Amino acid sequence: MHATMKFEGIIDEILEKAVKSGLAKTKAEALRLGVLELNSKYHLIRNTEALEDLEDLAEAKRISKLIKEGKMKLYTEEEFRKRRG
């Protein structure tokens, strides 16, 4: 489905913050995440395995972006054990 939408006010602010914070790469991606969350809350579609795959992919993209920006770090098993004590 292709659609053109214009958002103003609080909806646009929320989408903008989702992008700036790294939760989503674009406003369209933020909308997709919102739709998935809507389904997660209200169980509109029951094919949870496919939905979980989409959610996992979105989360992996978000984490990858944070790592590239230096806002998150990956640790080796040895580094992790040292940090945990």
Q: Give the domain range for residue 54.
A: 9-84
Domain annotation covers residue 1: no
What's the one-letter identity of residue 51?
Answer: L
Structural domain includes residue 58: yes
Q: How far apart are CA 47 and CA 33, in angstroms?
A: 16
Domain count, the chain: 1
Q: What is the pLDDT of residue 46?
A: 76
Helical segments of the chain, H only: 9-20, 27-42, 48-68, 77-84
Separation between Cα atoms, residue 27 and residue 31, nearest integer Å = 6
Residue 21 lies in a domain: yes
Q: For the segment 20-69, what is each residue's pLDDT rounded down to a tens digit?
A: 999 899 999 999 899 988 988 888 887 767 777 888 888 899 899 999 99
pLDDT of 1 above 80: no
Q: Angle of helix 48-68 relative to helix 27-42, nearest 10 degrees?
A: 140
Residue 2 in domain: no
